[in-house]
Each structure stands twice: as C-alpha cells, then as structure tokens.
Amino acid sequence: MTSICPETTLKTHDLLVSHPDGVAERLRTLSPAHCRLALLDLSLLSPLIERPGELAPLLSPAENDLFHQFRSPKRRLEWLGGRLAAKHCLHRLLAPATSLLSFQQYSILPDSHGRPSLESAPSGRPAASVSISHSRGYAAALACQVGSCGIDIQHLTPQLATVAERFARVEELDLIDSRLAPLTRLGLIWTVKEAVKKCLLADYPSFFGMIRLTRVERDREASLWTALCQVSQPAVMTATVRITEIGDHLVACTTGGAHA
Ligand SMILES: CC(C)(COP(=O)(O)OP(=O)(O)OC[C@H]1O[C@@H](n2cnc3c(N)ncnc32)[C@H](O)[C@@H]1OP(=O)(O)O)[C@@H](O)C(=O)NCCC(=O)NCCS
C-alpha cells in the first residue's frame, strides 16, 4: 500500500533544508548530476523532536525503534537530522516531482560498519547509496544512484589542531594556499579524508594513513576546492573530492566505486 506523506510534513521538511540562494547554489555545484545533497539546520529541527506525532510519518518502524534507543538529546537530533537529510535527497533523486510518497518508506539503517544503508525504498524505486554527516548544528547527506558516495561536514573547531598530526601530513598542508586560516587548511584535509573513508573505506576503522592528498585546487569565484587523493587500500585508487565553505563549516563530497 502506498501511504501519502501529508503535504504539511513535506512543507515543514522543505523548510528544514532550504538555504539562501548563494548557499543553495554552492551546495548544488558540490555534487555530481546523478546525486543529491542536502544540508539541514538542526536548530529548526529540534522543536519537531518534541512532537512525536510529526516524527512518526518520517521514520520506518525499524528507524523508529533505533531512534528511541538513543538517550542523548544531541545524538537523537543529529541522527534524526542525518536521516531526514538523506530521505530528502532520496526523494528528490528517486521520486518524481509530483509524488508525495511517505518518507516512512525509505528505511536507512546502519550496516555492520555503521555505514548508512538504504534497506527499503518505495516499491519499484532503484537502489541508491547514501552518506550522512553531522557537525555543530548541521546534518548533511548525499544520495547517489550510481556507485558509492561519501559526505563530511566539519565545524572548524580548534580541536582539529590538537589532533592534526593524526590526520594531516606536512606535504599535504603544503598543497593548500598558505594564506588561508590554519584551521581551514586542516579542516580541508580532515573533511576530504572523512568523505573518502565513507565512500571507499567504510570497513576500515583506521584510515587516515591510507589516504594521501596529491593536489588541491581552488575556484575562488565559486568558493569551491577540488582535492585529488590517492588511496592505498584495498587497492590503489584515486578519488576526487569537492569542498565548499558554509559559514564556519566545511562540506566535502565524493563519489566512487560500485555500492553494495
Ligand atoms: C565512523 C566515522 C565515519 C565517523 O565520522 P565522524 O566525523 O565522527 O562523524 P560524522 O558526523 O561525519 O559521520 C557520522 C555518520 O557517518 C556514517 N558512518 C558511520 N560509520 C560509517 C562507515 N564505516 N562508513 C561510512 N559511513 C559511516 C553514519 O551515517 C554516521 O551518522 P549516523 O550514525 O547518525 O547515521 C569515522 O570516519 C570516524 O570514526 N572518524 C573519526 C576519526 C578519528 O579517529 N578521530 C580521532 C581524532 S584524529
């Protein structure tokens, strides 16, 4: 049976992922044409958490069970924001503009590595890969119809500098314009490697050493960077990652091999 997403739910949801024109345009240019990206402002989502009646039509029964296992309000908000951002992407990617299929019909559950996996979709819809990230007030998601994908959003927190030697090499920092703020340079390396991990190394818990940035280019006009990386495991691969700055966050996206 096809359940219908109440129009008010869709409208509420559209508000959560809407952005000023400049930001929306930048986000559009970040992901390839066969993918969709959404960025959700968690401060707009928190009032909805207090209204379980409005959440019910958005989650599958299995997602609903998982959601209620989380005790921390922050974890609940970030997990829910990531799921809704991913469902928004899937809906835009897989459903025609006129379709009001319920978000409940997309069930995104963690696989054995924690990677989000689209376990069920409205009948007849093709499979898609999804990737989710959250950081300081935002959740972001990417969905792609072809191959795997990875997204990372990172608040430019000073904590990045305290663990820099664990993820950034001097040769990689040297690839990035030295006039940029030190935290931005570190954040670029972090988000690139996290996006590549989620896309290509989902089953590798320790991954920073397996990814090496080899080139970083900046398109100032579009406020975009493109980073090329070499991945050493499980086979030698290359990855291209696109990154943009939204306020004091960086968002990085990549797409890659076949998804399961
Ligand atoms: C698991 C990992 C993907 C988490 O990344 P993170 O930066 O902490 O958090 P993000 O918000 O960007 O990503 C979390 C999302 O990644 C997804 N994810 C988790 N494990 C994943 C995996 N193995 N593959 C792909 N995606 C994964 C999930 O969707 C998760 O969100 P959800 O649980 O709400 O659905 C991983 O990259 C990691 O552990 N990073 C931390 C690295 C580290 O060692 N830090 C110490 C300081 S150097």
Task: Say how many Å lie between the CA of residue 143 and the centre of ligand 1.
Answer: 16
End-to-end Cα, the chain, rounded Å: 27
Cα 63 from chain centroid (whole Å): 18
Residue 155: strand pairing partners: 249
Q: Please say whether the dihedral angle defined by the alpha carbons of residues 120, 124, 125 and 129, taken in this order, is positive or negative.
A: positive
Question: At 50, phi and psi to the nearest 5?
Answer: -75, -5
Alpha helices in 56-143 (DSSP H): 61-69, 73-94
In this structure, which residue's CA is closest to atom 41 in ligand 1? 194
Q: Dump pLDDT digits (tens) for 38-47.
A: 999 999 998 8
Q: Is 165 helix (H, G, I), strand (E, B) or coil?
A: helix
Low-confidence ranges of the chain (pLDDT < 70): 1-13, 15, 96-101, 257-260
**pLDDT at position 246, please?**
94
Q: Which residues line ligand 1 (CB under 6 A)?
A: 78-79, 82, 113-116, 132-135, 152, 163, 166-167, 194, 197-198, 202
**pLDDT at position 100, please?**
55
**pLDDT at position 54, please?**
78
Please give the structure tokens belonging to residue 202.
């989902």
For 214, the enclosing helix (H) or strand (E) is strand 211-219
Candidates 67, 29, 106, 34; CA nearest to 259 is 34
Question: At 5, phi and psi to the nearest 5?
Answer: -80, 120
The residues near 26 (Cβ < 8 Å, ≥ 6 apart) are 222, 223, 224, 244, 246
In this structure, which residue's CA is closest to atom 39 in ligand 1? 205
**pLDDT at position 178, please?**
95
**pLDDT at position 5, please?**
46
Delineate the domains of the chain, giving CATH numbers in brackets: 2-146 (3.90.470.20), 152-255 (3.90.470.20)
Task: Say how many Å lie between the CA of residue 68 and the centre of ligand 1.
Answer: 20
Looking only at the bridges linking them, the beta strands covering 211-219 and 224-231 are antiparallel
The residues near 213 (Cβ < 8 Å, ≥ 6 apart) are 172, 175, 189, 192, 193, 227, 228, 229
